[in-house]
């Protein structure tokens, strides 16, 4: 069901990545996992799952575009003394390893993440006695992950990347 919704987003994915930025897409994807799971916890009819399935645009499609973009090139926006903004591109993937790193990222998401998620979800459902409570627990993890990553990125991660870029430009 999410394919018709995903096509326009994927068509404009380059524009979205440039405007929203890769790190913000990661934050958005984690938050949308929270929204999806909290929605699943309240529905009583399976047909009501369709609106939450459309959020897969953020939790899967745009997330994987952001992962591929992050693996290939990390964009840093730096400003100099004249208030001129300059883009500096750094390669995150050494030459010849792009396909490997993209495969590892996909394997981590689809293999490890979904496997651990399914196992944890089954244990939570068994221990809590309710599918709704298990979905709410996963929702809180999604929201918490979003807040933690946003806090890290805006407090430490961006500064660390800018310092790394400054050192690399000084060396050259």
Integer Cα distance of 154 and 147 in angstroms: 11
pLDDT tens, per residue, the chain with 172 residues: 667 888 888 888 888 888 888 889 999 999 999 999 999 999 999 999 999 999 999 988 888 888 888 877 654 444 444 444 444 445 566 777 777 878 888 888 889 999 999 999 999 999 999 999 999 999 999 999 999 999 999 888 766 666 555 555 555 5
Q: At 28, is the secondary structure helix, strand, or coil?
A: helix
Residue with tokens 């805006």: 154
Cα–Cα distances in angstroms (integers) from residue 164 to residues 44, 74, 88, 93, 156, in the given order: 50, 12, 12, 16, 12
pTM: 0.78
């Amino acid at each position: 069901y999410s394919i018709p919704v995903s096509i326009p987003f994927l068509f404009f994915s380059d524009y979205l990545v440039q405007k929203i930025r890769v790190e913000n897409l990661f934050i958005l994807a984690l938050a949308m996992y929270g929204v999806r799971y909290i929605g699943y916890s309240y529905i009583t009819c399976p047909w009501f799952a369709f609106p939450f399935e459309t959020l897969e645009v953020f939790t899967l499609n745009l997330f994987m575009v952001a992962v591929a973009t992050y693996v290939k090139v990390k964009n840093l926006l730096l400003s100099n003394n004249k208030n001129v903004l300059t883009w500096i591109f750094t390669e995150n993937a050494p030459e010849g390893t792009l396909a490997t790193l993209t495969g590892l990222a996909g394997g981590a998401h689809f293999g490890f993440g979904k496997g651990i998620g399914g196992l944890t979800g089954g244990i939570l459902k068994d221990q809590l006695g309710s599918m709704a409570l298990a979905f709410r627990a996963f929702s809180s993890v999604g929201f918490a992950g979003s807040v933690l990553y946003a806090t890290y990125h805006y407090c430490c991660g961006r500064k660390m990347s800018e310092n790394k870029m400054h050192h690399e430009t000084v060396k050259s």
